Amino acid sequence: MKLFGSSGTRGVVGESLTPEFVLRVAKAAGTVWNTDRVAIARDTRTTGEMFVNAASAGLASVGVDICDLGVTPTPAAVRYCEVEDVPGVIITASHNPPEFNGVKLVDDGVELSVEQLELVEDHILAEDFDVAAWDEVGSVRTVETANQDYLDELLASVDRQKIADANLTVALDPGHGAGSLVTPNFLRELGCEVRTVNAQPDGHFPGRESEPIPENLTDLERLVRASDADIGIAHDGDADRAVFVDENGEAISGESSLAALVAANLEPGDATVSAVNVSQRLVDVCEEADADLELTPIGSTNLITRIRQLWTEGVNVPVAGEGNGGVFFPNYRLVRDGAYIAAKFLELVAEQPASEVVAPYQDYYNVRINVEYSRDEELDAMLSAAAAYAEASDATPNTTDGYRLDYGDAWVLVRPSGTEPKVRVYAEGRSEARAQELAEDAADALYAALDEL
């Protein structure tokens, strides 16, 4: 369990998360924020209400009133916090399995930076809380309009007429998450004919795993083909990602949809921001647009930090993101917003079929292997093995985040997950066989280290 991870998760994420710890996090955050009000939201996970109650108790104990938004997509909660000028606590584990849950902390309309989280962590470790007197404890007020207000703003922020004129049929898979409460209505209001699967809010995620990766999207692929849809859209548990399936029922890689969205929005002199596992697709797009590509460690925290730095330098960053479906449109709002991402992609599909939108960005193949561990000793052994593997290679390692090895025609990256007990191996090549070979070779080195324990 971590207060923050290298993946950029702002808050505790884990299967072992407890109400007692959530209460302490909330007490620390309320103490650091020194505010009168805090918003609380959650996704659909079965433990969400329990952790909301714990967080509410913690905040109330330090004299903070709570605005309870209920089940709300993360971008809707962030919007509420920005508009109402209040910090926020969001109970979600995003794309992780249903047994996981977590805490995200929001202030100034964006999720907390690592530096701010460290301050919260210091108060937790020192048990330094501003405990209120009995007659000054906070109270809870239910807010029922957060999702509708978010929907209204979405509709005013995209090219509604362009999408409506295209008469699109959209297949949607919100994965039983918080997006089930907003995205179906949003797409219908845009003039789309909508077909859904896994669209009932259910924290057990019975239809599929929350992470919208191709192996979890077979239901959506079938729905696209069965309904003759123009596009399929999938979210994760808190709907801050959007991943797509083309009109042929074939999953579109997140790297390809990111490249298409960046290409459509980037102008010469602009910059985009991505992580060290960036695809060559995005490198090519930036070179063609005469725009800068800024790389950070993996995770939205790091991207947000770099985007804000570029803003202070007067650099325009119209779009940024990673190849997992998490895309920022900072001039709209500095948050990953699955519904907004979906609409921006629909604007492209309104002009040509989805398969043609991403056709220029299909020349690379990506493979990811997860190596799980259960003890810190196993993690340490795998990281030592990764360092040795990098040193023995004929490529120069990039150690911005983990070990990335570039071979000219392909690359491989080994890094620990910040949210799950896994070491992730990413590889990309101009052929699937080359990417698979690199990923398996690196993963074998990690497995060998585990066998030696």
Catalytic residue list:
94
| 230 backbone dihedrals φ, ψ, rounded to 5° | -80, -25
The DSSP code for 407 is -
CA 453 to chain centre: 34
Query: Tokens for 100?
Result: 């996981």
Three-state SS annotation for 252-311: CCHHHHHHHHHHHHCCCCCEEEEECCCCHHHHHHHHHHCCEEEEECCCHHHHHHHHHHHH
413 strand-pairing partners: 404, 426
CA 22 to CA 27: how far, in whole Å? 9
CA distance 131 to 167: 56
As a whole number of angstroms, the distance between CA 269 and CA 451 comes to 50
Task: Say how many CA atoms lie within 13 Å of 305 toward its Cβ.
Answer: 16
Beta strands in 146-212 (DSSP E): 169-173, 193-196
Q: Are 68 and 174 in contact, with CB atoms under 8 Å apart?
A: no
* Residue carrying structure tokens 């362009």: 162
**C-beta atoms surrounding 194 within 10 Å:** 20
In the DSSP assignment, the letter for residue 191 is T
Q: Which positions ≥6 away from 413 have C-beta within 8 Å?
A: 276, 277, 402, 403, 404, 405, 424, 425, 426, 427
Closest to 414 in 3D by CA, of 392, 443, 372: 443
